[in-house]
Chains A and B, each alone.
Chain A
Amino acid sequence: MHRRDGRLMSNRDIAKSKPQPFLEIFERYQEQIFNFILRMTQDCYLAEDLTQEVFLKLFQSESNLSRHPNPGAWVFTIARNMCLNALRNRRSKIGHQNIMQNAAQEISVHGNDPYHDLVARETADLVKKALAELNENQREVLILREYHDLPYRKIAKITQSSEGRVKSLLFRARETLRKKLQTSRR
């Protein structure tokens, strides 16, 4: 319950007072944005905090939201910019190597076979580490492509670059990931 103008109001009241386009975007993208930030930062608490920041910013510019031709790409652009800022701030505080050590969040692998789960978890952990070692530009395009299944055109819009650059970044990201995963398998 929250106070508003001297009376108590429930979350439902607040939700009703919120503009409809914002609610629709929130419902539709909250999980995608949370997972995008989580994979970018590999920090669960930071991902939760930044997801709130993204939607807070979106709420404040709600008047533009209803007029935006592609609100989905816009939400991802806000999330992407916030991620890059947060990563830059964190790097300047603790250094790149420590980011890896700090990212101690456990990867979830859903399955019924315990042995298969264990192997899958270890593999996913290797992928996670390799992803964290990619530079931010390569990491973001690879995440947007592999986990969000976005075409080059949309990735270019979100990352504010060209399709040619997206193509080249993806190729290099896969190349780096392949080498890192091969090294860790040995």
Chain B
Amino acid sequence: MNCQEMRERISMRLDGELDQREARLLEEHLRVCTSCQEYEESLIEISGKMKLWKDEKTPANLQEKLLQRILEKGEKRTRVFGISFGYYRIPAPVAWAAVLLFVLLAFHLTKATFLERKVVTLETGYEVATVQKEDQVPVKISITSEDIVSTTTNYEDVNSPKGGFK
């Protein structure tokens, strides 16, 4: 092996990464090569010089600043999704699923009310009327004259007063 290859092994030995067999080969080479001996000494010296650059202490308020940034991030996300319990936020898919469910439910309820009103306006001309749909109990519903879309005709068979309807 030449000096270049041996120098790679010197670097490895310095790091404790050289196996026994290669360490033995290196030892044999170093016994006869002054240039590589000097090289090894220079690497040890460099390593020592590098150690003169000591670790710095972390800035005193690093943890506080980090906590502040964590909170800010949390608030930004809360603004986007609008839902949070204490510090923890609801994950985006769950939040959006809840919003979608709410919209569907609201649509369903509105539609049902609308249909019910339609039934009423078609069946009576009175301001207060009793409406009975199939399979349902009679319900009293208040309506205004604006709700009347048409006047109906023959309700005699449901016990309405004769000529009472307009």
Which of B56, B66, B68 makes the CB contact (< 8 A) with A38?
B56
Chain B binding site: helix, strand, loop or mixed by DSSP? helix
Which of A18, A35, A56, A167 makes the CB contact (< 8 A) with B56?
A35
Say yes or no: A128 contacts B53, CB within 8 Å: yes
Which of B52, B57, B58 makes the CB contact (< 8 A) with A51?
B58
A174 at the interface (CB under 8 A from B): yes
Say yes or no: B66 contacts A55, CB within 8 Å: yes
A178 at the interface (CB under 8 A from B): yes
| Stretch binding the partner chain, chosen from B39-47, B107-115, B123-131, B151-159 | B39-47
Say yes or no: A170 contacts B70, CB within 8 Å: no
Kindly supply a per-residue 1/0 record for chain A positions 44-75, scoring 1 wherever the CB is within 8 Å of any chain B CB and 0 otherwise: 10001001100110011000000000000000
Q: For residue B117, which residues in chain A have a CB less than 8 angstroms away from its CB? A: none
* Contact A167-B12, Cβ < 8 Å, known A35-B55, A38-B56, A59-B70: yes
Q: For residue B140, which residues in chain A have a CB less than 8 angstroms away from its CB? A: none
Say yes or no: A167 contacts B58, CB within 8 Å: no
Kindly supply a per-residue 1/0 record for chain B positions 142-163, scoring 1 wherever the CB is within 8 Å of any chain A CB and 0 otherwise: 0000000000000000000000
Q: For residue A108, which residues in chain B have a CB less than 8 angstroms away from its CB? A: 54, 56
Q: For residue B59, which residues in chain A have a CB less than 8 angstroms away from its CB? A: 34, 48
Interface size on B, residues (CB 8 A): 37
Contacts A109-B52, A177-B46 aside, 7 further interface pairs with beta carbons under 8 A come to A4-B86, A17-B88, A52-B66, A59-B70, A127-B46, A146-B51, A152-B15
Task: Enumerate chain A interface residues (CB-CB to B < 8 A).
Answer: 2, 4-5, 11, 14-15, 17-18, 26, 30-31, 34-35, 38-39, 44, 48, 51-52, 55-56, 59-60, 107-110, 120-121, 123-124, 126-128, 131, 142, 145-147, 151-152, 167-168, 170-171, 174-175, 177-178, 181-182
What are 25 A-B contacts defined by CB distance under 8 Å? A2-B71, A4-B71, A5-B86, A14-B70, A17-B86, A30-B58, A30-B63, A31-B57, A48-B65, A52-B62, A59-B70, A108-B56, A124-B53, A126-B49, A127-B46, A131-B50, A146-B50, A147-B55, A151-B15, A151-B16, A151-B17, A152-B17, A171-B12, A174-B11, A177-B46
